[in-house]
């Protein structure tokens, strides 16, 4: 597969993941926790970098820029989804309280405190909701971000 095809594949994969998350939210009433919202934002950012890579694939500098930020965004996604998977499997995760919504925290707290509160987790972040093939959404997100990191790494190393 050529390089443009790989960028297009990544863009379609991200679009399908975001669409599936939105579909599950609307049809089943799953409300995303703060960690889920950060992960959605990172999936969206991955889509932007795949789209940039698709348009800038003819220039080596454009590919390097897109691939670097693809990998960086995927690492961020691994951190957030890994934290959520940890909270889901930790024995004392029920002791945390989420409290207020992410929108409220962003409105009244500095960004540093918002990120600290999100990483502290909470009851809604530790719940295992929708499950497919024995994995819940956070575990699927973690696997997806790992896959996108590998794809970004392949694209980055292909130009060297």
The structural domains of the chain, with segments of one domain joined by +, span 3-158
What percentage of the chain reaches a pLDDT higher than 70? 76
d(CA 40, CA 137) in angstroms, rounded, equals 11
Spacing of C-alpha 3 from chain mean position = 23
Q: pLDDT of 7-32, one tens digit each?
A: 899 999 999 989 888 888 888 877 77
pTM of the model: 0.75
Two structure tokens written together for 70: 């693809």
C-alpha torsion sign, points 42, 43, 49, 52: negative
How confident is the model at residue 104, as a pLDDT? 60
Two structure tokens written together for 47: 């889509």
CATH for the 3-158 domain, from 3.40.718.10, 1.20.1550.10, 1.10.10.10, 3.40.630.30? 1.20.1550.10
Say how many residues make up the chain.
160
Write down the residue that tokens 């579909």 correspond to.
Answer: 23
Question: Taking CA 130 as the corner, what is the angle to CA 48 and CA 79, rounded to the nearest 5 degrees?
Answer: 45
What percentage of the chain reaches a pLDDT higher than 90? 24
């Amino acid at each position: 597969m050529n390089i443009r095809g790989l960028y297009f594949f990544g863009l379609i994969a991200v679009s399908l993941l975001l669409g599936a998350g939105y579909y599950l939210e609307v049809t089943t009433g799953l409300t995303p926790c703060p960690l889920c919202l950060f992960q959605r934002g990172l999936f969206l950012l991955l889509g932007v970098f795949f789209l940039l890579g698709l348009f800038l694939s003819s220039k080596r500098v454009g590919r390097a820029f897109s691939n670097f930020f693809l990998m960086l965004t995927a690492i961020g996604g691994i951190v957030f989804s890994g934290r959520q998977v940890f909270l889901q499997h930790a024995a004392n995760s029920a002791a945390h309280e989420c409290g207020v919504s992410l929108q409220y925290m962003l409105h009244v707290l500095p960004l540093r405190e918002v990120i600290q509160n999100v990483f502290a987790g909470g009851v809604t972040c530790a719940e295992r909701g929708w499950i497919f093939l024995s994995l819940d959404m956070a575990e699927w997100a973690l696997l997806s971000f790992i896959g996108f990191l590998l794809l970004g790494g392949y694209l980055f190393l292909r130009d060297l």
